[in-house]
């Protein structure tokens, strides 16, 4: 009855030499949902994304994307996904439209121009489409990058810190683009260091800390981990940041 998850991760471990980065990571991502993997710098978020996108092998544990095993069915996994890294992969010399057409041609799709125009519309880049990317703002560039990663209709898209380094306005633009993706039925796994980003976008949020997922739930569930709101002059609901600090606790003691 229930549809299998788009992403299933179990017991994932990964070390870089002596550095034991992932120590048993487990989570599932439901199809068509937005899942935020939240963690501090160096927590291992990119390592998880690289394993799920078949760029890196786990030491132990298993992971499936769209039902395909990342270790033994890597080609099938790659056909189902797209990956947008922390640093935009667009060509500055080309126009936005030319970038999109280029990718569509590389994927041997019919009618690259129509595909490009559709994506420019969808990501509010129609006006800018005929301008060189070198003239784009950070938010426009990142939106174009996300649009490019959608060519070929991947079922699952990985966004590794999609708004890192963007100003607040550009972040809001990218958030809109991500919401747009999920509305279209794409499963989104995004990583972020920003609590408000997870709060804004995600259906579920998992906190990766010291190599494990220490919390995994909806925003409402995460907020319930804290004592109820206290009545002072105004009622103050715990922010996700309060939850994060409460569950992460005293890092110095644990580490």
Ligand X SMILES: Nc1ncnc2c1ncn2[C@@H]1O[C@H](COP(=O)(O)OP(=O)(O)O)[C@@H](O)[C@H]1O
Interface positions with Mg ion (CB under 5 A)? 45-46
- Tell me if 144 sits within 8 A of 157, measured CB to CB: no
Our CB check for ligand X shows the closer of 19 and 106 to be 19
Our CB check for ligand X shows the closer of 42 and 113 to be 42
Q: Name which of residues 19 to 78 contact ligand X (CB under 6 A).
A: 19, 21, 39, 41-47
**Distance between CA atoms of 62 and 173, rounded to whole angstroms?**
35
Confirm or reject binding of residue 142 to ligand X (CB under 6 A): no
DSSP assignment of 114-165 equals HHHHHHHHHTT-TGGGGSBGGG--HHHHHHHHHHHHTTT--SEEEEESTTTT
Confirm or reject binding of residue 162 to ligand X (CB under 6 A): no
Going by the DSSP 8-state scheme, the letter that residue 28 receives in this structure is: E
The CB-of-186 to ligand X minimum distance in angstroms stands at 22
Confirm or reject binding of residue 254 to ligand X (CB under 6 A): no
Confirm or reject binding of residue 83 to ligand X (CB under 6 A): no
Based on C-alpha coordinates, what's the Rg of the chain? 19
The CB-of-26 to Mg ion minimum distance in angstroms stands at 20
Confirm or reject binding of residue 12 to ligand X (CB under 6 A): no
213 phi/psi in degrees, rounded to 5: -80, 110
Question: Mask of contacts with ligand X, 170-199, x by CB under 6 A?
Answer: ------------------------------
The count of residues interacting with ligand X (CB under 6 A) is 11
Residue 206 tokens read as 């998992």
The CB-of-93 to ligand X minimum distance in angstroms stands at 29
Choosing among ligand X, Mg ion, none, which partner's interface includes residue 116 (Cβ < 5 to 8 Å by kind)?
A: none
**Distance between CA atoms of 197 and 190, rounded to whole angstroms?**
10
The CB-of-206 to Mg ion minimum distance in angstroms stands at 15
How many CB atoms within 10 Å of residue 230?
9
Going by the DSSP 8-state scheme, the letter that residue 192 receives in this structure is: E
Q: List residues near ligand X by CB under 6 A.
A: 16, 19, 21, 39, 41-47
């Amino acid at each position: 009855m229930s549809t299998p998850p788009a992403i299933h991760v179990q017991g994932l471990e990964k070390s870089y030499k002596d550095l034991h980065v992932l120590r048993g990571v487990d989570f599932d991502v439901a199809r068509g949902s937005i899942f935020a993997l939240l963690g501090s710098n160096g927590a291992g978020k990119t390592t998880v994304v690289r394993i799920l996108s078949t760029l890196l092998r786990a030491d132990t544990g298993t992971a499936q994307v769209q039902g395909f095993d990342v270790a033994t069915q890597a080609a099938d996994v790659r056909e189902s996904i797209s990956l947008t890294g922390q640093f935009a992969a667009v060509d500055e010399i080309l126009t936005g439209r030319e970038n999109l057409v280029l990718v569509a041609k590389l994927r041997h799709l019919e009618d690259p121009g129509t595909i490009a125009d559709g994506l420019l519309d969808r990501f509010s880049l129609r006006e800018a489409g005929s301008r060189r990317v070198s003239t784009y703002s950070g938010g426009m560039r990142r939106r174009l990058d996300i649009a490019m990663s959608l060519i070929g209709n991947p079922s699952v898209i990985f966004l590794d810190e999609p708004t890192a380094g963007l100003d607040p306005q550009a972040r809001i633009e990218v958030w809109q683009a991500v919401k747009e993706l999920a509305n279209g039925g794409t499963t989104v796994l995004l990583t972020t260091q920003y609590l408000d980003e997870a709060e804004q976008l995600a259906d579920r949020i998992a906190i990766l800390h010291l190599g494990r997922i220490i919390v995994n739930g909806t925003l409402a569930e995460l907020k319930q981990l804290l004592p109820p709101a206290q009545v002072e002059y105004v009622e103050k609901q715990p922010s996700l940041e309060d939850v994060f600090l409460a569950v992460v606790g005293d890092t110095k003691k644990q580490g």
